[in-house]
Amino acid sequence: MSNIPHQGKFIEQAKALILEHISNEQFGVSELADLMNMSRSNLLRKIKKQTQGSASQFIREVRLQKGMTLLEETELTVSEISYEVGFSNNSYFTKCFRDYYGYSPGEARKKIVEQTAFEQDEIEKELQKEVEKEKEEDNQNTNTIEVPKKGLFQQYRVPILLGIVLVLVIAAFLFYPKETPNTDKQDASLKKSIAVLPFKNMSSDSDNLYFVNGLMESTLNNLQKIEDIRVISRTSVEKYRSTDKSISEIAKDLKVNYLIEGSGQRVNDQVLLNIQLIDASNDTPIWAEQYNHKTEDIFSVQNEVAKKIAEAIKVTVTPAELKQIEKKPTENVLAYEYYLKGIEASQNKTKEGLEAAINFCDKAIENDPEFAVAYAQIAICYYYLDVNKIEKKYLDKLNEYADNSLLYDSTSELSLIAKALYYISANEFRLAIPYLEKALDYNPNASSVVLILSDIYARVIPDTHKYLTYALKGIQLNIEANDSVSKSFIYLNLSNALVQNGFAKEASKYIEESLKYNPENQYSTYLKNFIDYANNKDLKSLRKKMLIEWRKDTTRADITQELAKTYYFQEDYENALAYYEKYISILSTNKIDLYPAENIKIAYTFERMGFSHKAEKYINKYKNYLEKDESIYREASLAMLYLYENMPNKAIEAYDKFSSQDGFQYWILLFLEEDPLFKSLKNHPDYDEVIQKINDRFWENHNQLKKTLKKNNLL
């Protein structure tokens, strides 16, 4: 803030509270005073003393600073940003912004774009200098210690940053997500693909918006229960609520053949619903209907709409799916209205919104004590209130409401999701999986479930085949992100899943998409270097690229250990040790313990450099890791220990056992024979046979997976 100096804890606490309620335009001085446990007058005096400005001015400046951040980091429009930072009037936001910064938000966006272009040019110039410098060093055959880079493959595998990437993706979408370039195979899946656009509220009373949104939501949910049709998620269509794009343009964006448009109006106890199904290829309605019913008949109308649409586009609806569509959530209209208000309140995932949603859904349950999805929605809200927090304050409540939801309807995907989220919150991921898979039985288009399963199989219970399958399903259901940063991470996630399964060329295509949407995504650059290696097998080139990445941020543990590993693979133990020691220092400073499988490489490097005592320390850490390892990689990791201890026969035996495993990552094949420890096995009479078995196993699984994915129009 221009007139707010660094004043320590009080100002920082006040600013944090304002940011926590940034989108609430009603949040003012009184609300801030209450949260800080101060009287209004004391707050005014203290802020005046420390900032030389008024409390309301302080709050407004925090909002404007957040607005500038959103201009810099997102592609939200100025009007969207003004709403996000608590200005209901766009003109007033622009005026305040100009008064504070000296130029309008539009001018600020232009400056940011120009600066970004300039900085990108400078970065490219620097990178070119680095490449030329490296070439010069190679020509002179110097043997100097280089500065480190960023890394990626644990042991031989690359579970890369997925903890970070997928958390970001889930934070943005857990209950809706995104997109994929056109291919001939995907054209086959377009034949029965549909998006339900946000319905328009035709009521004179804007308070009825929640009800109209509920009509749209129910239409979407009923269609999602049909496996024979691909239904785009709500998040993907929300950006088209107010758009100038034509039907054909929207359909092209979303990669669908059909769109549903609707409008709703409620007057007293009467509901008027206009709805039409449009063939996007020629922008022609192929079915339209107007419904005028009493509110109490709304469920039968919603069910009829889904069946009429399915009939119009000739999709197959099984008896089990029809039963799910015809199921009424409740017989109590008042309970349903409270539930819809709860859904609306929960959309922004703020603490206030979630608490309001819980309150509305509790009222729904008061009117219908057996309202299963209301219980489920409350459970989901409690999950979000605890998300990313170490101490789970609402875990018991989450479980209680999830169980009640299942008690009254065990075939609702929301009930099953709620119970799965309880197990996820309790870190019992294996127990969550059956509930998630069952939820897909009842709602094959549940994008939230697909996303969660993709995350679990990528990060928590590694299974490369399932990871890729769900990542591909997710990207078909979740076509459009609302900003380029989110799109970039979605493509990053998919490219990682592809390369882990040996689809290196396909991974290259998607990582380029990731960088196209956000060239500054350092994780995408990081992964791209390894995907390039998967395609060209040039270890020296990989080392040079990772050195450039490391120089961008020398404090990153992941990249530092990966850079060390590139030297280790080239048997340059002096440089490997330099970076391993940097890596160890970073872990010590941050009091973290990453990549325990890497300790054997660290031990071997210390041993080769003559530091036997330090080598012993790290080999013991590796042994401790092995005692707890229950992954599919255990035999391969055990074989490395046998090689370290000069027991080649036992190592061959362990690798032979490993060769029968399914679903291991492609990095095993790419880096196994590069490891100096493994190279010591090359003279063993059974070496070629074991290597061949490991390779054959991987490619057999790869080819089978490829057939399955193509059969299901996923690849």
Could you tell me what percentage of the chain is helix, strand and coil, using 3-state DSSP and rounding each to the nearest 5? 65, 5, 30
CA distance 667 to 450: 25
Does position 270 have pLDDT exceeding 80, yes or no? no
Report pLDDT for 500. Answer: 94
Q: Residue with structure tokens 């060769």?
A: 659
CB of 662 within 8 A of CB of 492?
no
**Nearest CA-CA partner of 546 in 557, 556, 560:** 560
Find the range with the poorest average confidence among 160-174, 404-418, 560-574: 160-174
Count the Cβ atoms, other than its own, within 10 Å of residue 93.
23
Residue 612: helix, strand or coil by DSSP? helix
Does position 296 have pLDDT exceeding 60, yes or no? yes
What average pLDDT score do residues 467-474 get?
90
CA distance 153 to 86: 43
Find the range with the poorest average confidence among 70-74, 161-165, 197-201, 548-552: 161-165
**Nearest CA-CA partner of 529 in 545, 514, 548:** 545
CA distance 154 to 53: 52
Interhelix angle 539-552/105-139, nearest 10 degrees: 140
Q: Residue 387 class from Cβ within 10 Å (0-12 exposed, 13-18 middle, 19+ buried)?
A: middle
| 402-430 residue pLDDT tens | 999 999 999 999 999 999 999 999 989 99
CB of 247 within 8 A of CB of 278?
yes
Q: Tell me the Cα Rg of the chain.
A: 28
Provide the pLDDT confidence category of residue 167 given band limits of 50, 70 and 90: very low
CA distance 68 to 64: 6
Strand partners, 201: 264
Report pLDDT for 368. Answer: 94
Phi/psi of residue 201, nearest 5 degrees: -85, 110
CA distance 196 to 245: 15
CB of 365 within 8 A of CB of 388?
no
Residue 75: helix, strand or coil by DSSP? coil
Query: Which residue ranges make up each domain of the chain?
Result: 9-108
CB of 224 within 8 A of CB of 354?
no
What average pLDDT score do residues 55-75 get?
84
Report pLDDT for 311. Answer: 86
DSSP assigned state of 683: T
Phi/psi of residue 160, nearest 5 degrees: 5, 130
Report pLDDT for 121. Answer: 55
Residue 686: helix, strand or coil by DSSP? coil
Top CATH class of 9-108 equals: mainly alpha
